[in-house]
Structure 1
């Protein structure tokens, strides 16, 4: 069999999420914790305007989730500690030789390298649970990886970051060749493009050490959307300049030189913890739409929507304020995971 991860622009059957629960990642203080519950809920309801959403909910959050999500979001109960579904959930794949067969890659998840603050052992089992729930074929992997650490074009190109998959706290014995071979087996990769690093804040205490979904994505084969920091005071000014120079010389699996579309960061460059990593690249593509991160900067948020709608013709962009999500270490793409549709009926539901 030959597994292939479809582009995120392929039709979806649904989006998967995980509801926040009490713990270190949700934060301290009732007011701050509520911003987490509110943000995850708003993202779920926004996606539900375009396609079905299934939310994994820890039993301790059952009543709150039912109250906040209402009847529009399907709820599945399972023990959770982390709630970043992109990273610990399954990566869905298809087999072009067996139409109608859904696969689910179950990476090893160790909480982004098992830092002392991470609570991950319950959520590490969610990929298996979701795989069983949807009746997918399990694609087991011994690679420590997270869904936010890869982007694909659906035609053999994979974006990855050296400081993620080759992180010694994740895969201490892996070499590039090992990772590329595993991406070929599980995702159908024929060309892996390695970024040297990610955004500056991603290397701080609560970071992922360079997830690509904060930096770049492939809206269509041969095209890259690239996060761009335009303020020289921000350390990511140099980071994104260097990434653009590197990627401008790169080709995809089909040998095409990339056309790069820049997605400028909003004007804010700091919060109370230092330089921010606010990125419009961390959006979710849904059936007929794009759920875009917003940062309270009307002009920049509007410009981002226009760029995204141009990059994804025929889709309507909707902005959701994501500052409370970013305050916890990620964005909209990080808290969601798309399940590809295998039949037109799945899309129509």
Structure 2
């Protein structure tokens, strides 16, 4: 049976996509985005191989910023969020497979383009030598998080949202998710962070709200400042998670990670979150925001992953585009 391994399982490599000219990174923002993506890629490369997919004719420019030891592949792209446009890798222990979700620009948002990104999942599958499992569910990798032992976190405003899957019931979504990922229990969060419903938001991805760090243990975003609308929302989500049990019947242990102190960015409510981290072989790549709480978050993750090196990378430019470090990376598990 194929299943999605947890992120802390050994990786063969990490896949990323290079920012190109598009509505998300306009003008000077493109250079800033490329510098931010390059910083993440070089950090991940310290721990495991990285393959960067670039648009046609962009490999040489990417090479100049990435250095010599990151693999480059040129393919048509619209955007650069490999977690969402790429496949979700699976294994049965002897073979590599991957789910190729249906992608529609995070709910057919008016600024989004996805003619090419809708095909990247299958392209990466082919490049990785993975067997493709197509899915009719409109879904993205940032909208799921698994513990590797049968439990998956979902968000009602994503998989059940009319912009993605009109007419799908909760039962139908769960059946498809479980069939594809090898899970048996879904834990639904009611929605995502407030800022994730802005112009470039995903309408509620779970990977800035909560994530498994080992079976039975979840890190959850908390907003200590009552002036922010996420203050009450996060309290409700933490209470919900603490009332849940995983597929093995264990009550969830919830580790709260306080949000950065900044409340607004560009006049909108900030959704800066340390939950949007990326685990790679021997490392934790953690968002930083030049914020007083950066070190507090790093200490929490050092305690959770004492055998891994925690490295912080400034994620403010990435969040300005609508995501974080987890959103631009996608793990390919080791098979066997």
Structure 2-normalised TM-score?
A: 0.98
Find the counterpart in structure 1 of residue 262 from structure 2.
268
Deviation at 1:94, TM superposition (A): 1.0
Distance 2:91 2:180 in 1: 10
Mean Cα deviation higher: 54-63 or 107-116: 54-63
Deviation at 1:277, TM superposition (A): 0.3
Find the counterpart in structure 1 of residue 124 from structure 2.
130
Contact 2:20 2:30 (8 Å CA) reproduced: no
Q: Give the counterpart of 2:66 among 65, 69, 76.
A: 69
1:74-107: CA deviation from partner (whole Å, max 9, x where unpaired): 0011000111000010000111xxx320111000
Matched, 1:284 2:281: no
Deviation at 1:48, TM superposition (A): 0.3
Find the counterpart in structure 2 of residue 347 from structure 1.
none
Q: Give the counterpart of 2:294 among 293, 301, 312.
A: 301
Distance 1:286 1:252 in 2: 24
Distance 1:60 1:166 in 2: 38
Find the counterpart in structure 2 of residue 17 from structure 1.
16
Distance 2:159 2:42 in 1: 33
- What SS does the corresponding residue of 1:119 show, helix, strand or coil? coil
Q: Give the counterpart of 2:81 among 79, 84, 98.
A: 84
Deviation at 1:173, TM superposition (A): 1.6
Matched, 1:224 2:218: yes
Matched, 1:321 2:314: yes
Distance 2:60 2:190 in 1: 44
Deviation at 1:60, TM superposition (A): 3.8
Find the counterpart in structure 2 of residue 110 from structure 1.
104
Contact 1:21 1:60 (8 Å CA) reproduced: no
Q: Give the counterpart of 1:333 among 307, 326, 330.
A: 326
Matched, 1:173 2:173: no
Contact 2:24 2:200 (8 Å CA) reproduced: no
Distance 2:197 2:34 in 1: 25
Contact 1:3 1:185 (8 Å CA) reproduced: no
Find the counterpart in structure 2 of residue 121 from structure 1.
115
- What SS does the corresponding residue of 2:275 show, helix, strand or coil? coil
Query: What's the RMSD between the two structures over aligned residues?
Result: 0.9
Contact 1:227 1:265 (8 Å CA) reproduced: yes
Find the counterpart in structure 1 of residue 2 from structure 2.
3
Contact 1:180 1:189 (8 Å CA) reproduced: no
Query: Please, which runs of 5 or more residues in structure 2 have no aligned partner?
Result: none
Deviation at 1:248, TM superposition (A): 1.1
Query: Please, which runs of 5 or more residues in structure 1 have no aligned partner?
Result: 344-349
Distance 1:159 1:304 in 2: 22
Distance 1:322 1:273 in 2: 18
Contact 2:59 2:73 (8 Å CA) reproduced: no
Deviation at 1:62, TM superposition (A): 2.4
Deviation at 1:33, TM superposition (A): 2.3
Structure 1-normalised TM-score?
A: 0.95
Distance 2:22 2:271 in 1: 23
Distance 2:335 2:3 in 1: 13
Deviation at 1:34, TM superposition (A): 1.5
Matched, 1:190 2:189: no
1:16-60: CA deviation from partner (whole Å, max 9, x where unpaired): 0000001111123x2x32210100000000000010000000014
